[in-house]
C-alpha cells in the first residue's frame, strides 16, 4: 500500500463529506487482495448518502458495497442478521454477506463492506413478477420467525416494535413538545407545536384504535424494520428469482403490520390490494395468519402514526438541547406528514373508518 493510494481514496470520500478513516483502506486491501494493495486501480461511486460502490480495476466484474453506519450497534446487527438470525430460519441468502469491517480507532464511526447484488430494486423494477418474488420471501421471513426463540436475541440487539411501541412513541413526543419553551418556537412553528399536541392527545385517547390493537393480537416476528422498495433487490439468476433484503439497520421484533405499512405505502393504491392478497396467500401456504383488511388498515396506520411521533420526539428534543442549530420549522413539515396519511387499503365496509393508513410523505431514515 502506498501513501498516494490512500490519499486518493480519502479525497474521493471527503468530496462527499465523509470523514477520513485509515483503517478503512487497510480493510479494503484485505478484502480485495494483494492486487489492490499493490496499486491496482480502485474506483468508488456514490450510491446514496453514506453508501458507495467500490469496483476493483483489476477485475471489472467484481464490485463491493461500502456503507458507513451511524454507530457500532448498526454494524453489529448487520453481522447478526447475516451470520446468526437468518441462518436460524434457513434464509441466510436473503441478505448480503458482510465481507469486512473498519472501525475508526476513536469509535466515532464504522464502515462495512458487503456483497454487491446490483441495482435491480423494486424501486426501479416494480413489475408484478419482481413483486411476487419479493412478497413470497417477505412472507416466508415473517412466518418462519413468528414466535421463534431467536426473537429474544433480536429484541435485545435491535428494535422493539410491538403495540407498546405506539404508546411509547406518543408519550415521548408529548413530553418533548411540552418541554419546548415558547421562545424557541416563533410564528407558525409554535402553532404547529400546539396542533401536534392536540393530535397526539386524540391518538392517545382513541378507544376504538386501542380495542382493535388489543383484539388483533398479531404474533411477534422478526421485522426488517425499514422495508422500503429501495431495500429489496430482485434479480433473475439461472431461471430462478433471487431476492435480497438490504439495509437491516432497523431490524427488530414486532407485528407484521409494521413491515407491511412501510412496504405498501411505496406503491400506488391500485397495487396495494394485489400485494396484500399475494402476501396473504403466501402466509396461508405456510400456515400463518394475516388480519382482515379493516383491522390491517388500523394496524398499519398505527405503525405510521408511531413513526411520525418518533420524528416529533426526535426533532423536539434536538430543538430543546441544541438550540439555534436546529430549525423549529421542521415541526410544520412533520405536521404535514400526519395530515397526508390516507387509507392504506380500500375500505370495504359501508361506514368509512376514521383511522386511516398512510400514503403520504415520510422522512427518509
Per-domain boundaries in the chain: 3-115, 128-340
Averaged pLDDT, groups of 10, the chain, 365 residues long:
56 83 84 63 84 78 89 92 97 95 86 92 93 97 97 95 94 96 91 96 93 86 97 87 95 96 91 95 94 92 96 95 85 95 72 38 45
Strands (E), 158-282: 159-160, 221-223, 232-237, 240-245, 252-254
Closest CA to 252 of 222, 218, 219: 222
Torsion sign across C-alpha atoms 96, 97, 100, 102: positive
**Length, in residues, of the chain:** 365
Q: What is the CATH number of domain 3-115?
A: 3.30.200
Q: Give per-residue pLDDT as tens, 29-49.
A: 888 875 554 556 777 888 989
Question: Which SS3 state, helix, strand or coil, does residue 243 take?
Answer: strand
Q: Which CATH number fits domain 128-340: 3.30.1120.10, 3.40.50.300, 3.20.20.70, 3.90.1200.10?
A: 3.90.1200.10
Residue 233 DSSP SS3: strand
User: Quick check: helix, strand or coil at residue 288?
Assistant: coil
CA–CA separation, 76 and 317 (whole Å): 27
Q: What is the pLDDT of residue 12?
A: 79
| The residue to which cell 386511516 is assigned | 356
What is the Cα 178 distance to its own chain's centre?
Answer: 28
pTM assigned to the model: 0.88
- Answer yes or no: are the C-beta atoms of 320 and 180 closer than 8 Å: yes
Q: What is the pLDDT of residue 35?
A: 53
Cα–Cα distance measured from residue 230 to residue 91, given in angstroms and rounded to the nearest whole number: 20
Closest C-alpha to 180, from 325, 316, 324, 322: 316
Instruction: Please report the pLDDT score of residue 26 as a whole number.
Output: 85
**Is residue 298 within 8 Å of 317, Cβ to Cβ?**
no
Amino acid at each position: 500500500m502506498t501513501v498516494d493510494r490512500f490519499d486518493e481514496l480519502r479525497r474521493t470520500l471527503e468530496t462527499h463529506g465523509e470523514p477520513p478513516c485509515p483503517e478503512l483502506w487497510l480493510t479494503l486491501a484485505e478484502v480485495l487482495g494483494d492486487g489492490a494493495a499493490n496499486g491496482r486501480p480502485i474506483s468508488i461511486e456514490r450510491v446514496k448518502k453514506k453508501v458507495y460502490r467500490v469496483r476493483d480495476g483489476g477485475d471489472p466484474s467484481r464490485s463491493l458495497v461500502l456503507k458507513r453506519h451511524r454507530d457500532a450497534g448498526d454494524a453489529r446487527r448487520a453481522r447478526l442478521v447475516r451470520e446468526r438470525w437468518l441462518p436460524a430460519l434457513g434464509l441466510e441468502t436473503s441478505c448480503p454477506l458482510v465481507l469486512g469491517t473498519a472501525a475508526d480507532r476513536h469509535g466515532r464511526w464504522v464502515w462495512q463492506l458487503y456483497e454487491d447484488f446490483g441495482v435491480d430494486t423494486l424501486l426501479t423494477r416494480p413489475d408484478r413478477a419482481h413483486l411476487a418474488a419479493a412478497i413470497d420471501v417477505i412472507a416466508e421471513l415473517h412466518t418462519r420467525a413468528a414466535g421463534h426463540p431467536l426473537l429474544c436475541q433480536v429484541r435485545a440487539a435491535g428494535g422493539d416494535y410491538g403495540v407498546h411501541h405506539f404508546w411509547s412513541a406518543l408519550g415521548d413526543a408529548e413530553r418533548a413538545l411540552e418541554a419546548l419553551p415558547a421562545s424557541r418556537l416563533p410564528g407558525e412553528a409554535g402553532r404547529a407545536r400546539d396542533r401536534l399536541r392536540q393530535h397526539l392527545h386524540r391518538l392517545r385517547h382513541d378507544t376504538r384504535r386501542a380495542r382493535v390493537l388489543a383484539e388483533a393480537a398479531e404474533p411477534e416476528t422478526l421485522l426488517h424494520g425499514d422495508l422500503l422498495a429501495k431495500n429489496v433487490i430482485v434479480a433473475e439468476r439461472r431461471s430462478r428469482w433471487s431476492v435480497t433484503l438490504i439495509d437491516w439497520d432497523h431490524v427488530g421484533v414486532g407485528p407484521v403490520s409494521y413491515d407491511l405499512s412501510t412496504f405498501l405505502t411505496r406503491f400506488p393504491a391500485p397495487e396495494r390490494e394485489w400485494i396484500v392478497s399475494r402476501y396473504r396467500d403466501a402466509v396461508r401456504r405456510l400456515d400463518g395468519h394475516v388480519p382482515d383488511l379493516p383491522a390491517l388498515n388500523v394496524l398499519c396506520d398505527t405503525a405510521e402514526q408511531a413513526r411520525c411521533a418518533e420524528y416529533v420526539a426526535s426533532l423536539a428534543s434536538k430543538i430543546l438541547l441544541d438550540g439555534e442549530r436546529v430549525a423549529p420549522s421542521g415541526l410544520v413539515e412533520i405536521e404535514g406528514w400526519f395530515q397526508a396519511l390516507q387509507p392504506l387499503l380500500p375500505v370495504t365496509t359501508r361506514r368509512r373508518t376514521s383511522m386511516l393508513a398512510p400514503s403520504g410523505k415520510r422522512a427518509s431514515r
